[in-house]
């Protein structure tokens, strides 16, 4: 019988530790993540960088990451303080999960497209170098948003 009570104590302690991590660590993640993404947006939206396709991908990825932080970490922070609306409103829960997964997917694919753009711009082949254009970057980002939203 004492084995069951010690296991119960361990489970309760782990649950308490998990709740404390959700309360306090998420504050730091949300704070530093939000500040970092906002600074990225401020730097990458400068006039001299707006015409660069790679900078455009990173700007869009930072915006998507900011949406991910707000829809994921902020709600988890509220859940740590027992103030989570997604537990009581089913459609809000579904919307949050959709926004969270779509924004995470978009951010990842945009970074991949920035990598491809850098490969195009540094290629020996002239035709590939000409593919690194802002219009192609915007079209690729739009395609990523549409496909990520449908998947």
Q: What is the pLDDT of residues 117-130, one digit of tens each?
A: 999 999 898 888 88
For every residue of the chain, which 3-state class applies, written as one string?
Answer: CHHHHHHHHHHHHHHHHHHHHHHHHHHHHHHHHHHHHHHHHHHHCCCCCCCCHHHHHHHHHHHHHHHHHHHHHHHHHHHHCCCCHHHCCHHHHHHHHHHHHHHHHHHHHHHHHHHHHHHHHCCCCHHHHCCCCHHHHHHHHHHHHHHHHHC
Predicted local confidence at residue 113, as pLDDT = 95
Global pTM value: 0.83
Looking at the predicted structure, is the pLDDT value of residue 84 above 70? no
Tell me which of 42-46, 130-134, 144-148 is least confident: 130-134
Looking at the predicted structure, is the pLDDT value of residue 80 above 80? no
Looking at the predicted structure, is the pLDDT value of residue 1 above 60? no
Arithmetic mean of pLDDT over the chain? 88
Tell me which of 50-59, 78-87, 136-145 is least confident: 78-87
Task: Tell me how long the chain is.
Answer: 151
**Domains of the chain from N-terminus onward:** 2-150 (1.20.1070.10)
Average pLDDT over residues 93-112: 93
d(CA 121, CA 57): 14
In our burial notation (b when 16+ CB lie closer than 10 A, e otherwise), range 66-105 reads bbbbbbbbebbbbbbeeebebeeeeeeeeebeebbebbbb
The band of 3, judged by pLDDT with boundaries at 50, 70 and 90, is: low
pLDDT above 70 covers a percentage of the chain that reads 95
Higher pLDDT, 101 or 93: 101
d(CA 147, CA 66): 20
């Amino acid at each position: 019988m004492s084995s069951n009570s010690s296991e119960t104590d361990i489970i309760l302690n782990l649950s308490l530790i998990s709740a404390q991590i959700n309360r306090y660590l998420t504050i730091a993640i949300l704070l530093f993540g939000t500040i970092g993404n906002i600074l990225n947006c401020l730097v990458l939206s400068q006039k001299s960088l707006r015409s660069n396709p790679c900078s455009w991908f990173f700007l869009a990825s930072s915006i998507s990451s900011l949406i991910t932080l707000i829809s994921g970490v902020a709600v988890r922070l509220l859940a740590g303080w027992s103030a989570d609306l997604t537990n009581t409103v089913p459609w809000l829960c579904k919307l949050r999960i959709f926004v969270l997964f779509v924004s995470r997917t978009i951010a990842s694919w945009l970074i991949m497209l920035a990598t491809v753009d850098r490969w195009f711009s540094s290629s020996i082949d002239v035709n590939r170098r000409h593919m690194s254009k802002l219009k192609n970057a915007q079209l690729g980002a739009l395609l990523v948003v549409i496909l990520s939203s449908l998947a």
